[in-house]
Amino acid sequence: MNDIDVTLKAFDYFHDWYVDSIALQGNEASTCPDTLTLVLSLADRRVSIAFAGMTRLGIENGGTVNIVLSMEEVQPNTEVNAIAQRLLKQSLRGKRTAQHVVYLHPTAGFAIAVEFDFLAIKEGA
């Protein structure tokens, strides 16, 4: 297991968590977002997940209720990789490619694929 998988596993891969908010922020240049932040909740728990060094982002569907089935780091040559790459194709490719891709499998609402360098989770967000 790598660090990202260990981190996601510590939260049971966010199974049944609700996505309360999604935000894009440009830390390097305000005209080009490089951080995706998701705020998720489950009962009385709340976390903020920052995907820093983001190079591409794909989002599909979504609605008033967005529930996570699971969130996983994408591995090469898998069905999940094919799904994630299809979503990421919607995003313009920059000068570089980030190190990691995570895919959010939806129970309801949107699916998200994000290509990024660093993952940070803050509880009590």
**What pLDDT score does 2 carry?**
66
Helix (H, G, I), strand (E, B) or coil at 21: strand
pLDDT values of the chain reduced to their tens digit, one per residue, 125 residues: 569 999 999 999 999 999 999 999 987 666 678 999 999 999 999 999 999 999 999 999 988 899 999 999 999 999 999 999 999 998 887 788 899 999 999 999 999 999 999 999 999 86
CB 50 within 8 A of CB 105: no
For 79: left if phi > 0, alpha if psi spans -120 to 50, otherwise beta; the answer is: alpha
**What pLDDT score does 27 carry?**
74
Q: How many CB atoms lie within 10 A of CB 109?
A: 18
CB 72 within 8 A of CB 8: yes
**How many separate domains does the chain show?**
1
**Domain residues for 45?**
3-123
Q: How many CB atoms lie within 10 A of CB 22?
A: 16
Buried b (16+ CB within 10 A) or exposed e, 91-108: beeeeeebebbbbbbbee
pTM: 0.92
